[in-house]
Amino acid sequence: MNILGIETSCDETGVAIYNSEEGLIGHLLHSQVSLHSEYGGVVPELASRDHIRKLIPLVQQILRNNQLTASDINGIAYTAGPGLAGALLVGATTARSMAWTWKIPAIAVHHMEGHLLAPMLEPDPPEFPFIALLVSGGHTLLIQVEGLGQYHLLGESLDDAAGEAFDKTAKMLKLAYPGGPLLSKLATKGTQGRFKFPRPMTDRPGLDFSFSGLKTFTMNTLQNTDQTPQDRADIAYAFQEAVADTLTIKCRRALQQSKLKRLIVSGGVSANIQIRQSLTKMAELENVRTYFPRLEFCTDNGAMIAYAGCQRLLAGQHENLEIHVKPRWPISDLK
Ligand code: KG4
Ligand code: ZN
């Protein structure tokens, strides 16, 4: 069974084909970074218009690249939320119209479930149950995962998501959009130990996160320096170290409480090397195995949506003809 996956929730147009027996057949991604960079962030209306321009050519290209035609596709999975309403509608209406024309089922996929299942695309995927840390631009979630659709939310961000904190801090350090990867690059030139940032909400019980205070801390620290390139690199280092430490402390707590021995980490921020290393080191000490998607599947992509859609279809789920998207959609609502 071949599932076409479509991702248009934010600033990447992603398409992929996943085969239920053979695995991932192919995937393509068009990034809108250059489109939004002059505005310093995603402009929703520009995002929607660009998805309209790119989506159908990408679908045609992926079919062509893999010598497939419409009759080889058995279902179309699309991101139905959470995300930008207009961007989601482009993917949803295109996917649903194609599915209707090709007389195949359409499957509405939760974007964060896509991230959660992305490590399943790797050669040695985790078995259920596990702890999932999902760290993207819009969400920071700690979830106890018992099986497909069995998600117990253990903790989440009460304000800025980890990726959002990276992006906002990067802006203060005068880095371009998207700031996360650029801040991480700057941090490689930073000096360890010069600044010590707080580890928010780690001194009390619980598994929720709060990263917005780090912005204020960054601003105050920056204003107390001459803002030389080295000052900025040292601040980037300390910020990244604080986020990595905070995520690691909360994951350790979740693993100890649940007694689970598998940790998956996914979402854009899981591409961060220092965060990966910090979590991997902690997990080794806890005798826990870690699973990350390959770097290109940490950030938004069509492959994770095709995979999630395939699992949902195999479980007997698909949509009726009504088209709706959910810009806000708690993952704990999934069944
Ligand atoms: O999962 P994703 O591609 O999109 C959302 O679902 O939000 O995550 C994007 C987020 C952005 O905030 C971006 O700055 C961050 O992931 N990000 C990183 C890195 N690569 C992407 N943050 C820190 N270090 C990175 N290497
Ligand atoms: Zn995402």
Provide the β-strand partners of residue 15: 6, 28
Highest CATH level, class, for 2-116+297-333: alpha beta
Ligand 1 atom showing the smallest separation from residue 267 Cα: 1
2-116+297-333 against 127-292: fold identical: yes
Residue 293 Cβ < 6 Å to ligand 1: no
Answer whether 5 contacts ligand 1 (Cβ < 6 A).
Answer: no
| Distance from the Cα of residue 211 to its chain's centroid | 17
Question: Could you report the per-residue pLDDT of 4-46, keeping only the tens digit for each?
Answer: 999 999 999 999 999 999 999 999 999 999 999 999 999 999 9
Q: Is the CB of 180 under 6 A from ligand 1?
A: yes
Could you tell me the distance, in angstroms and rounded to a whole number, from the CA of residue 151 to the centre of ligand 1?
22
Q: Whose CA is nearest to atom 22 of ligand 1?
A: 180
Q: For ligand 1, atom 14, which residue shows the shortest CA distance?
A: 180
Ligand 1 centre from 297 Cα, in Å?
11
Looking at all shown ligands, the one closest to residue 244's CA atom is 1
CATH of domain 127-292: 3.30.420.40
Q: What is the pLDDT of residues 94-137, one digit of tens each?
A: 999 999 999 999 999 999 999 999 999 999 999 999 999 999 99
Token pair recorded at residue 167: 């992006």
Regions in the chain scoring below 70 on pLDDT? none
CB 246 within 8 A of CB 198: no
- 307 CA distance to ligand 2 middle (Å): 15
User: For atom 16 of ligand 1, which residue has the closest CA?
Assistant: 268
Q: How far is CA 188 from the centre of its chain?
A: 23
Name the residue ranges covered by the structural domains of the chain: 2-116+297-333, 127-292
Identify residues whose C-beta is under 5 A from ligand 2, the ion: 136, 300
Which helix H or strand E contains 141, and what residues bound it? strand 140-147
- What pTM was computed for the model? 0.96
Contact 301, 16 (CB under 8 A): yes
Is any ligand 1 atom within 6 A of the Cβ of residue 177? no
Q: Among all ligands shown, which has an atom nearest to the Cα of 168?
A: 1
Ligand 1 mutation pick, 136, 182, 301, max ligand atoms within 8 A of CB: 136
> Which of 296, 313, 301 has the alpha carbon at shortest distance from 2?
313
240 pocket-lining for ligand 1 (C-beta < 6 Å): no
CA separation, residue 118 to residues 64, 298, 314, 321 (Å): 25, 8, 17, 27
Query: What is the CA(292)–ligand 2 centre distance, in A?
Result: 14
For the chain, first and last CA: distance in Å? 23
83 lines ligand 1 (CB under 6 A): no
Q: Residue 269 in contact with residue 169, Cβ under 8 Å?
A: no
Token couple for 179: 């700031």
Instruction: Tell me the ligand closest to 182's alpha carbon.
Output: 1
Return the number of other C-beta atoms located less than 10 Å from residue 81's C-beta. Answer: 20
DSSP β-bridge partners for residue 193 = none
Tell me, using a 6 A CB cutoff, whether residue 269 lines ligand 1.
yes
Angle at 102 between CA 99 and CA 108, to 5 degrees: 15
**Residue 156 backbone phi and psi in degrees, to 5:** -155, 170
Task: Please report the pLDDT score of residue 318 as a whole number.
Answer: 86
